[in-house]
A and B are shown apart, each in its own frame.
Chain A
Amino acid sequence: MEMAPRRLAAIGLAVVLILGVGFGIITSIHAGGSSGSPAPQVVTLHGLIGSEKAPFFADQSVKDALLKGGFIVDVQTAGSRQIAQADLSQQDFAFPAGIPAGSKIKADHAGSTTYQPFYTPMAIATWKPIISLLEQAGVAQQRSGYVALDMDAFVKLAQKGTRWTDLAGNTAYPVSKSILITSTDPRTSNSAAMYLSLASYCANSDNIVQSDLDVANVMPIVSPLFLKQGFVDSSSEEPFDDYLVQGMGKSPMVMIYESQFVARAAANDGSITSDMALMYPEPTIYSKHTFVALNDNARRLGDFLTNDPGMRQLATEFGFRTIDAAGFNTFVKAHNLSVPATFVNVIDPPTYETLEKMITNLEQQYGTP
């Protein structure tokens, strides 16, 4: 093991799922350990966070750094959609994965303040032979230092029900499945909601979905991208773990957060093999982790998470991007990762209400009880 077991455990384990009602997983994050001396005034803050950030807050060096800044942070995890609808009266802050949920919470809580301490673009974990096939099909293109998946072309390909075996000259992946990107469950998970945002933009002639008419027009195009997958997992860790463990036959393409791949690759634990590759949807979309402070102490925490250089460095080690772009670039270079420094073509997600309408529509098609 080249890497400290602590960090590896933080990245690999703690797949904690919350489904249905009642978030309620309590990840007690009391600072233990011996390092560092507590700041004079330490406050304990309670927050409801997206499950993808649980490993970050469970990490001992993150706990130590927070304690140095005067914070003990006690978090419960839930899906971002659930956080947006949750009763936050017992919480000091909420920290969902995306802007739509963040702005909904801000709107519902007068006097709250939002921070965006870190973000990560949506990316597609895939395989070198798959990229070659997609390039031949004109759906993927090399950019400087990375590969882009043309989302408009992909959505059209998927709309036609194209299978892998339909691609001309495909000997590398002769599988009779429809060409789909594996995602999480759009009913519960933010990463699937980000994928829905992207796909609906493409289905709406490269416009962000806004009106009910837009929703009605795009749903027949985007629904099969989810429904044809069959059973989907609820947390973003699961499909990425399946990709890492079960390989190309299980997961030719998986919609993930870039941070997941970067953290794994940086861990250098043997899980990222030479035939794996990262590809970026074009346009892409950022998952901007939005910290909503509900009181003054939480505002101090939001400020600390955003501006403290030590916190930024830790976030970077978990694969997140922060306002310190140079720090991220240094980190990925140090781990020989080829990721774009900046993106030209980035779209915004629809509003919370519009996204809800699309998700509710999918929910009905799934026949959710």
Chain B
Amino acid sequence: MRMHGTAARLGLVLAAAALAVGTAACGSSTSTVNPDDPNTITVLAGSEVKDVQPILDDLQKATGVSLALTYTGSLDGAESIDGGAATDAAWFSLGNYLRLLPNSSKRIVASNKIMLSPVVIGVKKSVADRFGWTNNPNVTWADIEAKAADGSFHFAMTNPAASNSGFCALIGVATALSGSSDAIDTGKIDTAALTSFFKGQTLTAGSSGFLADDYVRQQDSLDGIINYESVLMSLNSGGTLHESLTLIYPKEGIVTADYPFILLNKAKLDAYNKAVAWLLDPAQQRRIMSDVSRRPAVPGIKLDSKFPSQTLVSLDFPSKLDTIQSLISTYLNVVRKPASAVFVLDTSGSMDGVRLDNLKHALTQLTGGDQTLTGQFSSFRSREEVTFITFSTQVNDVKTFTIDDTNSNGPDMSAIRDYINNLSADGNTAIYSALEQAYSTVGQEIATDPNRLYSIVLMTDGENNSGAAAGDFASNYQSLTADVRAVHVYPILFGDGAVSDMKAIASTTGGTVFDAQTTPLDSIFKQIRGYQ
């Protein structure tokens, strides 16, 4: 299906609304939305405001104004607004992309910060005690870097290209390690210091919420997690941690998310003003503090005692999109641990034709074909290992590529494109045999190179009808060593794929399902790259 102009833009928004599978994927909170209702504001929102929904339900009761939230990634959302997507408003934890992209910045009618949450680091209590970080106001990002570099500190952080908590953390760390606390500029990025810092990052994810869940799952092999203060507070009160997290606010400074609610459609100004006036009312601001652990955004409201009252030094955002771009690309291609991405691809008979064409297109986009920011950030990265495992009646092929040259026309990307273009479809569907192969491949790789971030993507359009059964795979998985079991499968729901099977695979392995039945495969692959 090809759409054009407004229809295509609307389609993008509606498609995002339909993405309601799994914890990490996106979703809409409303079923029937009439965008022409003057009291309905359609909002493209980040998953980081999901927990505010009960308060928005009361906003509707109190003022008659309803916010119809559709969740999407922050950069993704900004790009679609920049491209003209039909939405009345935007609500992400940060407004920087919307303000810096040329077209979206012109669409901004009004903006109000609704609440605040600094991005800080939660360190396991015993670890904080051992490092002398408990009740110590002088801990710096440089101290954390030193512990990460010598291998004694392992932490979780989201991918800064996909998630604002990771983005805030990257700005904070890069600024602090640049030698002064002034807003970072391209020339001041200290890649050596950042490389040692990110030696400690052993868990990544495409969203702050998924990262928190994954931290709970893998807490015994981690020492800490970078996330919003509010997320860390709710982890501490959630009853799922074996050990509480000590929140560290590094001395050089931190970056605070301010959740600007941004109006794009002038026609909804009245409803917008009502909603903002209600949300910024002291009573609601106090409720936001107590229910969702965000700090108030309006002056004169006393901070709840659960927040530390120390002066928080605030680090500034760069003023140029170029700087952000080069910082993220330095992170992805130079300083983070390299990824090892395994793509398990269904080449059974049912994939023949348009489905295989779509898959080829989506994968080709990752070889540098997409010049948008999200496209650049989701391309295969320098130092990455990309493995394709194709299967039909049985596992057909295991092929690994290593990326040294990220140039779209260079030999590495061309080799991947050639491989993808030569795929053909025939035969039955041996999903679980292919997954067993994937874990066997990953297991061998981990044994030789444990310093990578591993992930498995499963792309299938049908149900298992060949080879190992679901139960075989489950017991095979349980027999693996813990480090291999820690690798997640991210199944893509596509064609006639079975929701329950995909969900079971995700839940067994700690992954999450991505729904390509209602969203173009290209965007699904981009989203998944946030998790790799």
Tell me whether A366 and B320 are in contact (CB under 8 A): yes
Query: How distant is the Cα of A270 from the Cα of B299 in the complex, in angstroms?
Result: 8
Of B100-108, B155-163, B225-233, the segment with at least 4 beta carbons within 8 Å of chain A is B100-108
B residues 295-312 in Cβ contact with A at 8 Å? 295-302, 311-312
Tell me whether B280 and A176 are in contact (CB under 8 A): no
Name the B residues within 8 Å of A231 (CB-CB): 96, 99, 183, 316-319
Name the A residues within 8 Å of B300 (CB-CB): 12, 244, 269-271
> How many residues on chain B are close to A (CB under 8 Å)?
45
Say if the beta carbon of B256 comes within 8 Å of chain A.
Answer: yes
Name the B residues within 8 Å of A264 (CB-CB): 299
Query: How distant is the Cα of A143 from the Cα of B109 in the complex, in angstroms?
Result: 42
Tell me whether A178 and B180 are in contact (CB under 8 A): yes
A277 to chain B minimum Cβ distance, whole angstroms, is 16
Query: How distant is the Cα of A9 from the Cα of B112 in the complex, in angstroms?
Result: 14
A-B contact pairs, 24 of them (CB 8 A): A17-B111, A24-B109, A25-B109, A26-B269, A175-B181, A175-B253, A177-B182, A177-B253, A177-B313, A227-B319, A228-B182, A228-B183, A230-B184, A230-B317, A231-B96, A244-B299, A245-B295, A246-B256, A246-B314, A249-B311, A250-B256, A250-B312, A250-B313, A269-B300
Say if the beta carbon of A229 comes within 8 Å of chain B.
Answer: yes
A residues 192-233 in Cβ contact with B at 8 Å? 227-232
Say if the beta carbon of B322 comes within 8 Å of chain A.
Answer: yes
A132 to chain B minimum Cβ distance, whole angstroms, is 15
Tell me whether B102 and A369 are in contact (CB under 8 A): yes
Say if the beta carbon of B116 comes within 8 Å of chain A.
Answer: yes
Say if the beta carbon of A241 comes within 8 Å of chain B.
Answer: yes
Say if the beta carbon of B252 comes within 8 Å of chain A.
Answer: yes
Say if the beta carbon of A334 comes within 8 Å of chain B.
Answer: no
Tell me whether B110 and A247 are in contact (CB under 8 A): no
Name the A residues within 8 Å of B269 (CB-CB): 25-26
A residues 6-33 in Cβ contact with B at 8 Å? 9, 12-22, 24-26
Tell me whether A15 and B277 are in contact (CB under 8 A): no
0 or 1 for each of B109-128: is its CB under 8 Å from A? (1 = yes) = 11111001000000000000
Query: How distant is the Cα of A282 from the Cα of B128 in the complex, in angstroms?
Result: 48
Name the A residues within 8 Å of B316 (CB-CB): 229-231
B6 to chain A minimum Cβ distance, whole angstroms, is 19
B298 to chain A minimum Cβ distance, whole angstroms, is 6
A181 to chain B minimum Cβ distance, whole angstroms, is 13
Say if the beta carbon of B266 comes within 8 Å of chain A.
Answer: yes
Tell me whether A176 and B314 are in contact (CB under 8 A): no
Q: B interface vs A, CB < 8 Å?
A: 96, 99, 102, 105-113, 116, 180-184, 252-253, 256, 266, 269, 273, 276-277, 280, 295-302, 311-314, 316-320, 322
Query: How distant is the Cα of A246 from the Cα of B295 in the complex, in angstroms?
Result: 9
Name the B residues within 8 Å of A175 (CB-CB): 181, 253, 313
Tell me whether A163 and B180 are in contact (CB under 8 A): yes
A108 to chain B minimum Cβ distance, whole angstroms, is 24
Name the B residues within 8 Å of A245 (CB-CB): 116, 295-299
Query: How distant is the Cα of A177 from the Cα of B252 in the complex, in angstroms?
Result: 9
Known: A227-B319, A230-B183, A269-B299. A19 touches B106 (CB 8 A): yes
B262 to chain A minimum Cβ distance, whole angstroms, is 9
Tell me whether A232 and B312 are in contact (CB under 8 A): no
Query: How distant is the Cα of A14 from the Cα of B270 in the complex, in angstroms?
Result: 11
Known: A25-B269, A249-B253, A270-B300. A230 touches B180 (CB 8 A): no
CB nearest neighbor in A for B318:
A230
CB nearest neighbor in B for A231:
B317
A residues 247-272 in Cβ contact with B at 8 Å? 247-251, 264, 269-271
Say if the beta carbon of A367 comes within 8 Å of chain B.
Answer: yes
B38 to chain A minimum Cβ distance, whole angstroms, is 14
Query: How distant is the Cα of A20 from the Cα of B266 in the complex, in angstroms?
Result: 14
Tell me whether B252 and A176 are in contact (CB under 8 A): yes
Name the A residues within 8 Å of B256 (CB-CB): 246, 250
Say which residue of B106, B299, B313 sits within 8 Å of A271 (CB atoms): B299
Name the B residues within 8 Å of A13 (CB-CB): 112, 276-277, 280
Tell me whether B299 and A230 are in contact (CB under 8 A): no
Name the A residues within 8 Å of B112 (CB-CB): 13, 15
Name the B residues within 8 Å of A227 (CB-CB): 319
Query: How distant is the Cα of A24 from the Cα of B107 in the complex, in angstroms?
Result: 11
Name the B residues within 8 Å of A271 (CB-CB): 299-300
Further contacts, 8 of them, CB under 8 A, given A245-B297, A249-B253, A250-B256? A12-B280, A13-B280, A15-B110, A21-B106, A22-B106, A230-B183, A231-B317, A246-B314
Say which residue of B111, B184, B311 sits within 8 Å of A15 (CB atoms): B111
Query: How distant is the Cα of A367 from the Cα of B184 in the complex, in angstroms?
Result: 16
Query: How distant is the Cα of A241 from the Cα of B301 in the complex, in angstroms?
Result: 12
Tell me whether B312 and A230 are in contact (CB under 8 A): no
Query: How distant is the Cα of A19 from the Cα of B102 in the complex, in angstroms?
Result: 11
CB nearest neighbor in B for A21:
B106
Tell me whether A177 and B180 are in contact (CB under 8 A): yes
Name the B residues within 8 Å of A230 (CB-CB): 182-184, 316-319
Query: How distant is the Cα of A17 from the Cα of B90 in the complex, in angstroms?
Result: 14
Name the B residues within 8 Å of A246 (CB-CB): 116, 256, 312, 314
Known: A178-B182, A249-B314. A24 touches B266 (CB 8 A): yes
Name the A residues within 8 Å of B299 (CB-CB): 12, 241, 244-245, 264, 269-271
Query: How distant is the Cα of A14 from the Cα of B274 in the complex, in angstroms?
Result: 10
- 6 closest A-B pairs by beta carbon, nearest first, are A230-B183, A20-B106, A271-B299, A244-B299, A230-B316, A271-B300
Name the B residues within 8 Å of A12 (CB-CB): 280, 298-300
Tell me whether B116 and A249 are in contact (CB under 8 A): no
A35 to chain B minimum Cβ distance, whole angstroms, is 22
Known: A15-B111, A16-B110, A244-B300. A232 touches B319 (CB 8 A): yes
CB nearest neighbor in A for B302:
A270
CB nearest neighbor in B for A224:
B182
Query: How distant is the Cα of A246 from the Cα of B99 in the complex, in angstroms?
Result: 21
A97 to chain B minimum Cβ distance, whole angstroms, is 19
Name the B residues within 8 Å of A18 (CB-CB): 108-109
A55 to chain B minimum Cβ distance, whole angstroms, is 13
CB nearest neighbor in A for B316:
A230
